[in-house]
Chains A and B, each alone.
Chain A
Amino acid sequence: MRRVYLYARFQRFWHWMQAITIFSLLFTGLEVHGLFKLIGYETAFHVHNFLAWGLVTFIVLAFFWYITTGDFRQYLTEGNLIEKIMMQARYYLIGIFKNEPHPFKKNEISRLNPLQRITYLMLTLVGLPLQIIVGFAYYYFNELVALGMPPSWMEPIAHLHTLLAYLLIGFVIMHVYMTTTGHTLTSNIKAMVTGWEEVEE
């Protein structure tokens, strides 16, 4: 085993800020959706809209960082991506119960397995932007209607926003669980706090 520095300070900062923001967005969003009454509809509404701007800010910062540092390459894959994803999926479905080694080893150049790459890429490039766009269309509904959007779109926009939120909750549950699949139960979380992780040589 050796210790490698996997996550730069900015990556950890952005990861945890994103985590807090998304968690709070989900929480306040569900209250606005009427699933429970805790901090009050109006407060939840204000916090939700404020955090939406926070999330946009963090994502813009992250894009800037990934592009300028060249770290976006972490998300590029060589070779047959599907095959590699299947290998990783097979590990979680079968190999993990047989104490098989992880099919892809982490190192300074490559810290994400193919399944992580595609998931995070889809989340950051498709899922979250879509949710943010739909959310902003929801918030600026009156302005968009003034620009010519049919008022009857309110309902589908609201339903899509809710649906994406539920999918996001599914992601969060699995994502948190996946952190326990490192070489110890907490090694992945420790790494995301300190930046350092012990990896197989």
Chain B
Amino acid sequence: MKKSLYRLLIPALSLLFLFSAAVAETFHPAVDSLMISTADHTKFDELKKDFRSGPEVTEACLRCHTEAAKQLHRTKHWTWDVPMKDGKMLGKSHVVNNFCISVESNEPRCTSCHIGYGWKDKTFDFTSERNVDCLVCHDATGTYRKYPSGAGHPALVDTVFGKKPFPKSDLTYIAQHVGNPDRHNCGICHFEGGGGDAVKHGDLDNSLLEPSETLDVHMASGKDELNMTCIDCHKTEGHQVPGSRYEPTARDVHGFDYPLPDDYPTTCGSCHGLEPHKNFKKLDDHIDKVACQTCHIPAMAKERSTKMWWDWSKAGQLDDKGKEITRMDSTGHPVYMTKKGEFEWAREVEPEYRWFNGEMNYVTFLTEIDDSGVVAINHPDGEPGDSLSRIWPFKVHRGKQPYDSVLKRFVKPKLFGPKGSGAYWKDFDWRKSIETGMAYAGMDYSGSYGFVETEMYWPISHMVSPKEDALGCVDCHARGGRLEKLGGFYLPGRDASAFVELIGLVVILGSLVGVVAHAAMRYVAHKNMKQEGEA
């Protein structure tokens, strides 16, 4: 009896053991600082001092990270220059935009997002290593903030900008608590481009700090979610952050290659390959013609309204008492500001779709524009028959901005500065503002200005939805669908040949009318014959 019990018990126990091994969760050691870094910055004597300015911190950083500033000097984050193949110089310091138009003459305000200290005018020394701001990207405390009009410096004493408090940055504490950039470091500039949260890009805003899965399936930061950060895709080497609106990758032809950076930056295909739709072959057939983003980012500005329209020509109105006006819409977004003019905002925006081959054309301040219609400040190149082009989603920001109505070029108004300096935001005089800005830039100006309507294209790549929320076939394959206006190719469900439809109509109606007539004639003939028979 006892023996037989053992015989049962042993296999039962071993089965139990096997089973328990199968269901056991993989053990993950707790992630602490020791898992991430070999250096505890709180232990460095270099950092145990009372820093009184940003550059002082940088000097301390550079004692160990001796080459870091030199690396930074080569990046477009530092130069705001992007030299193009055709010899054109693009980059933030050169291109026209239809938000705040131009950096030049507005440096103290614009360069609060520069990774440098003190770019307040043309005298900024781009060779200075101590002016590289290490902390804005490496602050792991979330407390470091550049002062909006401080030309890149943080608040060194407690202060207020607008109505927002900017407390003194505790540089010593921050310097001792540094880390790899997370979403907040990148976001502090890229989420707030154009002067505020969600203004510029449409697919980058502060909702991405802690996004839900529906907002961004990759960056979702909840339990068991991917929790990817910016640098997972914008994988950095030597401080060069890949990813550029000047030379974007419109079509990945390499497929799986993460983390090798042969596509800049990591594309969808780097992780998902070039045939990602396992059970739906026809979707993979779309990949050469449709960017992943087109279906998988069905809407941008999902949680926060983004600016869609900015009309500078309406700026400058004052109320009866000569005071500036600010009008808000019901959601608390300004729709009119004396300084800036008229705005329109939108949330859950359907992107606009264009063929795009990766060549983005930029108008510069030297380009002669055709002011008879809407001027595209930049526009994507591409066409349907081209093997490089795919359909891409864009945020198109439209507005009206000043230009030289004689020379037909965009102008650089001086917006920011003290009263009497010509700055539009204090003097509200376009003539003075443009003259001052153009003179500062050393550019020709005829003296006559006007306002022209412009549009600017921003390719959309962020806020990728979970696959359940991706566009369905009928969103495009339909009359009146999302691709209604995108011409030059046959789209099933949307397009038809008028000739074929006409033949179809004739055939179907003809045969219906024919059989009905034939049947009627048979009926009449039959009735007549019956009557004749009876008669």
Q: Does A59 belong to the interface (CB within 8 Å)? A: no
The answer to whether A142 and B288 touch (CB under 8 A), given A33-B493, A45-B282, is yes
User: Can you name the residue of chain B whose Cβ is closest to the Cβ of A169?
Assistant: B508
Name the one of B285, B479, B518 contacting A141, with C-beta atoms under 8 angstroms.
B285
Contact with B along A137-176 (1 / 0, CB 8 A): 0010110000000011011001100110111011001100
Asked if A45 and B285 make an inter-chain contact with CB atoms under 8 angstroms apart, the answer reads no
Name the one of A37, A169, A174 contacting B515, with C-beta atoms under 8 angstroms.
A174
User: Total A-B residue pairs with C-beta atoms closer than 8 Å?
Assistant: 89
Asked if A163 and B503 make an inter-chain contact with CB atoms under 8 angstroms apart, the answer reads yes
Q: For the complex, what is the distance from the CA of A34 to the CA of B474, rounded to whole Å?
A: 9
Name the one of A97, A139, A166 contacting B522, with C-beta atoms under 8 angstroms.
A97
Q: Does B512 belong to the interface (CB within 8 Å)? A: yes
The interface residues of chain B lying within 8 Å CB-to-CB of A40 are 474
User: Can you name the residue of chain A whose Cβ is closest to the Cβ of B282?
Assistant: A45
Main SS at interface, chain A: helix
User: Can you name the residue of chain A whose Cβ is closest to the Cβ of B285?
Assistant: A142
Q: Does A123 belong to the interface (CB within 8 Å)? A: no
Q: Does B12 belong to the interface (CB within 8 Å)? A: no
User: Can you name the residue of chain A whose Cβ is closest to the Cβ of B497?
Assistant: A159
Closest chain B CB from A134 CB (angstroms): 13
Q: Does A200 belong to the interface (CB within 8 Å)? A: no
Asked if B385 and A34 make an inter-chain contact with CB atoms under 8 angstroms apart, the answer reads no
Q: Does B438 belong to the interface (CB within 8 Å)? A: no
Name the one of B492, B508, B514, B525 contacting A166, with C-beta atoms under 8 angstroms.
B508
The interface residues of chain B lying within 8 Å CB-to-CB of A96 are 522, 525
Q: For the complex, what is the distance from the CA of A98 to the CA of B490, rounded to whole Å?
A: 51
Asked if A41 and B493 make an inter-chain contact with CB atoms under 8 angstroms apart, the answer reads yes
The interface residues of chain A lying within 8 Å CB-to-CB of B477 are 32, 34, 41
Tally B residues with Cβ within 8 Å of A.
37
| B32-69 interface (Cβ within 8 A of A) | none
Q: Does B443 belong to the interface (CB within 8 Å)? A: no
Name the one of A32, A163, A165 contacting B492, with C-beta atoms under 8 angstroms.
A32
Q: Does B504 belong to the interface (CB within 8 Å)? A: yes
Q: Does B418 belong to the interface (CB within 8 Å)? A: no
Name the one of B474, B493, B500, B529 contacting A163, with C-beta atoms under 8 angstroms.
B500
Asked if B515 and A97 make an inter-chain contact with CB atoms under 8 angstroms apart, the answer reads no
The answer to whether A41 and B473 touch (CB under 8 A), given A34-B479, A142-B288, A159-B497, is yes
Q: Does B366 belong to the interface (CB within 8 Å)? A: no
Name the one of A97, A151, A180 contacting B385, with C-beta atoms under 8 angstroms.
A151
Closest chain B CB from A146 CB (angstroms): 10
Closest chain B CB from A37 CB (angstroms): 7
The interface residues of chain B lying within 8 Å CB-to-CB of A139 are 282
Q: Does B521 belong to the interface (CB within 8 Å)? A: yes
The answer to whether A32 and B490 touch (CB under 8 A), given A41-B477, A98-B525, is no
The answer to whether A158 and B492 touch (CB under 8 A), given A41-B473, A174-B514, is yes
Q: For the complex, what is the distance from the CA of A33 to the CA of B504, rounded to whole Å?
A: 13
User: Can you name the residue of chain B whose Cβ is closest to the Cβ of A41?
Assistant: B474
Asked if A33 and B507 make an inter-chain contact with CB atoms under 8 angstroms apart, the answer reads no
Asked if A162 and B525 make an inter-chain contact with CB atoms under 8 angstroms apart, the answer reads no
User: Can you name the residue of chain B whose Cβ is closest to the Cβ of A150?
Assistant: B385
The interface residues of chain B lying within 8 Å CB-to-CB of A169 are 504, 507-508, 511
Asked if A173 and B497 make an inter-chain contact with CB atoms under 8 angstroms apart, the answer reads no
Q: For the complex, what is the distance from the CA of A35 to the CA of B274, rounded to whole Å?
A: 33
The interface residues of chain B lying within 8 Å CB-to-CB of A99 are 525-526, 529
Q: Does A42 belong to the interface (CB within 8 Å)? A: yes
Closest chain A CB from B164 CB (angstroms): 48
Name the one of B474, B497, B507 contacting A37, with C-beta atoms under 8 angstroms.
B474
Q: Does B494 belong to the interface (CB within 8 Å)? A: yes
Question: Can you add 10 more A-B contacts, CB < 8 Å, to A98-B529, A139-B282, A151-B385?
Answer: A32-B477, A34-B478, A34-B492, A34-B493, A34-B494, A34-B496, A99-B526, A162-B496, A166-B503, A166-B504
Residues of B within 8 A of A (CB): 282, 285, 288, 385, 472-474, 477-479, 489-490, 492-497, 499-501, 503-504, 507-508, 510-512, 514-515, 518-519, 521-522, 525-526, 529
Residues of A within 8 A of B (CB): 32-34, 37, 40-42, 45, 92, 96-99, 139, 141-142, 151-152, 154-155, 158-159, 162-163, 165-167, 169-170, 173-174, 177, 180
20 cross-chain CB contacts under 8 A = A32-B492, A34-B477, A34-B479, A34-B492, A34-B493, A34-B496, A40-B474, A41-B493, A98-B525, A98-B529, A99-B529, A142-B288, A152-B385, A154-B489, A158-B495, A162-B496, A163-B504, A173-B508, A174-B514, A174-B515
